[in-house]
Amino acid sequence: MFKIPIKVSLNYSPNFSTYRRKSKYIKYLIYHYTGMSSESKAIKRLTDESSNVSSHYFIKKNGSIILMVPEPYEAWHAGKSHWKKEKFLNKKSIGIEIANKGHQFGYENFSNLQIKSLIKLSKYLIKKYKIKKSNVLGHSDIAFKRKKDPGEKFPWEYLSKKNISIWHKINEKKLRKLRKKKISNFEKAQFFKFLYKIGYSPKIKGKLEKSKLIKSFQRRFRQKLINTLIDQECLLIAKTLSKIN
């Protein structure tokens, strides 16, 4: 019935929950970068029993795909996470790890071959489980206090053009005029309300967590400037996205 449209090699991970999920419970697609100094180290870790982490799929730099945990089983990729009313998204998601050194070891562009494979794999999974575009997320969206992946080099806008994830349709010229423009305290409060409406967790304590949330939003939706400052551009983007379901 649903046959995967690309070649996939197998390298099973022992790290998964052994109960079988019904396909109707799979509602989210979560993207990660591996954030390790080498691709082979990342593969080793995700398949090593003592690491307690895994992912359903792994996309190598050359675009080839490894299946590590079969879809009916819960892989351990997201950890403590929160989106809308959902907590611990591992239960209801498919995790895809994309090889990239990440912010810690030298964040690099994702390769064209990786993105090509990612699009094919995502389209297949979205169709198979009827995943909503607004439920295709990055690790940093659902765990912004701890995570930065897949980061600001991840091509979210391009994926939205392929009908995979959400994006806004505000033109760049308009956005550029609003960039770095100050906002009032009232608008600041509005900005956070829009974020919670989009799905980000409202459970934030103190300044540091607040700035992590702002950065996470920027890495996802305002990739041209990651600076923890809320400006008119951020406000308009958040407002526009808050209306998308």
Instruction: Give the integer Cα–Cα distance in Å for 56 and 92.
Output: 12
56 binds Zn ion (CB under 5 A): no
220 binds Zn ion (CB under 5 A): no
149 binds Zn ion (CB under 5 A): yes
> Shortest gap between Cβ of 117 and Zn ion (angstroms)?
18
Q: Which tokens in the block code for residue 132? A: 């909503």
Instruction: Give the integer Cα–Cα distance in Å for 149 and 169.
Output: 24
- Stretches 21-29, 45-53, 57-65, 148-156: which one binds Zn ion (CB under 5 A)? 148-156
Q: Where in 87-146 is the site for Zn ion (CB under 5 A)?
A: 139
Chain position carrying tokens 């611990």? 88
212 binds Zn ion (CB under 5 A): no
User: For residue 203, which of 27, 80, 93 has the smallest C-alpha distance?
Assistant: 80
Q: Which of 97, 157, 187, 209 is catalytic?
A: 97
Q: Where are the alpha helices (DSSP H) in the chain?
A: 39-46, 102-105, 112-129, 139-142, 156-161, 172-178, 185-198, 206-221, 232-242
> Shortest gap between Cβ of 147 and Zn ion (angstroms)?
5
32 binds Zn ion (CB under 5 A): yes
Task: Identify the helix (H) or strand (E) that includes residue 86.
Answer: strand 86-87
| Catalytic (active site) residue 39 | no
> Shortest gap between Cβ of 78 and Zn ion (angstroms)?
7
Please, which residue, 149 or 231, has the CB nearer to Zn ion?
149
Instruction: Give the integer Cα–Cα distance in Å for 52 and 237.
Output: 37
> Shortest gap between Cβ of 191 and Zn ion (angstroms)?
25
Q: Mind telling me the catalytic residues? A: 97
> Where do contacts with Zn ion occur on this chain (CB under 5 A)?
32, 139, 149
